[in-house]
Structure 1
């Protein structure tokens, strides 16, 4: 199993911490978030991961070079001088997963101890029902700030709205997906993508409604995208999570 780990964001909401550090290297009780992700991926069957870089890319590359001897996971980086957006990163690096039936997509600014093998297993079942992507779901305390889904009785996502004004539920996109290679068929008929930044939530997921499924994550997951969320995660992680 291969994985894309999205780590190139500027982390503007997490200032001032990201003035001097990339968000993916923000420490969780002394452990860089990226190390937590690498260890988690290795523990749940991922063999190779592609990590995109942009903001403070030299620090990310230096960390990965130093950590390679300490993990069995094959670590690959791709630098984006200009941010491509999450969906753009997938498209421009689709050769990385050529020949793979399924692969993982995750955002490195989430702190989680989720058993990813469970998500892989759920996707295999959903794939047999025509699913192209399985989305890990969380309960959102502020649904208007998230991508919100509506499910049918089989777990199929029949509606997806990014940051809705009037949310139909509090089931939100958790930023962890397992996708099949058929996902690239939903970028459109052209063999080349347009030049603008392409986002998974805004540009790709709406095209997959009816062909993607949702599964509520049963582990801890916290987006540490702003200082308040970061401090809350620091308070919760030791007590709530055994990794």
Structure 2
């Protein structure tokens, strides 16, 4: 029987955590695209393509709408590296608190707020997620986009078929599970937006709160056990 989970992995690298993060990743891309002028929160490649098209069309308003989230995403990665270096002991707890607070604020911002501010804030938050949760069961992955995951899944699947490598098959299936739940998150996001509008982003706050409780509990248990 194929075992996709890995008991030896730290909590933040477990498949279950990767699934929750993938749901959030798909949800936020769907949410930002539907609510805010077709801008992707996570897929900066898509924003770069749309940026180029806007520039060629002389549509400088939309050009800025795509450029600013790209810059915000980049700044988020830089901040994540800083936090990882200076607050390593409570890194994941701090990251999750930042994400929850940001999304909660975004949910209640007035409709008059320029959409570029909101999409940039979501992009910033998503880059923190991507920069913080980098591995799943010891393998690099992305919870906020799927192109790299799909490449890794197919490469490992080819290795599994041609060399009968069971470990490669397990790794490939993990990537495919993450991709599947990213798509599930996108569907949930689309349904939620139609039902709850911009407040639907609070669902992501709830998922992050679950992760915060799990990781805080693990940290507390580890400290008590260490004593």
TM-score, normalization: structure 1? Answer: 0.24
Larger radius of gyration: 2
Q: Which has the higher contact order (CA 8 A, sep 6+)?
A: 2
Q: Would you tell me which structure has more strand in proportion to its own residues?
A: 1
With normalisation by structure 2, the TM-score equals 0.25
